[in-house]
Amino acid sequence: MTSVDDWVKWSRSKGLKDSHEYLGGVDAWRQAWRPKRVRVLLVAESHVAEEKGDLRVRVRSPEGLFEKLPRSYVRLVYCLAYGEDCLCEPKPKRNPGTWQFWKIFQAISDCSADAKQPRKGQIMPKVEVLRKLQSKGVWLVDASVAALYSLSEGRLRVTRYHETIRQSFEEFVWPMMKEDPVKQVWIIGRGVGNALTGLKLKGMPDRITRRWIISQPQDRTPGRFQEDLKRLVRRICVCKKRI
């Protein structure tokens, strides 16, 4: 099993510079919402890179509801404070969140591609969505354990993008699933999909092909994301009924 130390060493070799503490926070938040048994794996590109001052931000726990969750702030959808200034002490510089992934989360949670995701400030509805995903065995990971995008710098420069994505997924991400009964692996984003297409690893339910790839919510092709989302929800809900 690899560790955050391995992630840091690898990210440095790629010219990427998230701190050890920040990557540790990313791992802690993702693990906090990991199902006991992962049955459906969603794979995105990466979390958003650390910005100056992020390590000083702490996640506030209103009324003690989240006492078991990490206090570190990271730019990852699983961190409840990402996109929610009301939970940040102090407020970070630029905190847009990733509302697009809440659209996917809510659709899977409700088994409806037309479900409306929680709005900004609706903390407890977000918590309920994450709890439902846990109970369904659905977990979101990133193919790259190092951030490939920064709010301040845009797309970070990394040589051999496809090779980087594939190497990280093979060496660091998929090995975390070796004890889980994963039935489906879905890739979010065609760039990541192109990098992982054809991949077959020990324990993987099927070779990753085009049918396991969906567009990102901000896809510029009209209607493509919604059609992909319907396909994903239909397959996941059928899978759940058979388990």
Tell me, rounded to whole angstroms, the distance of Cα 243 from its chain centroid: 24
CA distance 116 to 102: 9
pLDDT at 183 over 50: yes
Phi and psi at 113, nearest 5°, equal -70, -15
pLDDT digits (tens, 9 = 90+) for 141-150: 999 999 999 9
- Domain boundaries in the chain? 4-242
Confidence band of 26 (pLDDT split at 50, 70, 90): very high
Are 102 and 118 contacting, i.e. CB atoms less than 8 angstroms apart?
yes
pLDDT digits (tens, 9 = 90+) for 155-177: 898 889 999 999 999 999 999 99
pLDDT digits (tens, 9 = 90+) for 30-43: 999 999 999 999 99
| pLDDT, the chain, mean | 93
Confidence band of 239 (pLDDT split at 50, 70, 90): low
Average pLDDT, integer, range 198-221? 89
- State residue 242's pLDDT score: 46
Compute and round to an integer the Cα radius of gyration of the chain. 17
CB-based contacts of 163, cutoff 8 Å, min separation 6: 195
pTM of the model: 0.94
- State residue 243's pLDDT score: 45
pLDDT at 238 over 80: no
CA distance 242 to 128: 23
**Percent of the chain scored above 90 by pLDDT?**
82
Helix axis angle for 20-32 and 4-13, nearest 10°, is 130
CA distance 168 to 185: 16
CA neighbor of 127 nearest in space, from 136, 118, 115: 118
CA neighbor of 186 nearest in space, from 147, 222, 239, 223: 239
- State residue 67's pLDDT score: 78
- State residue 219's pLDDT score: 82
pLDDT at 240 over 70: no
pLDDT digits (tens, 9 = 90+) for 124-140: 999 999 999 999 999 99
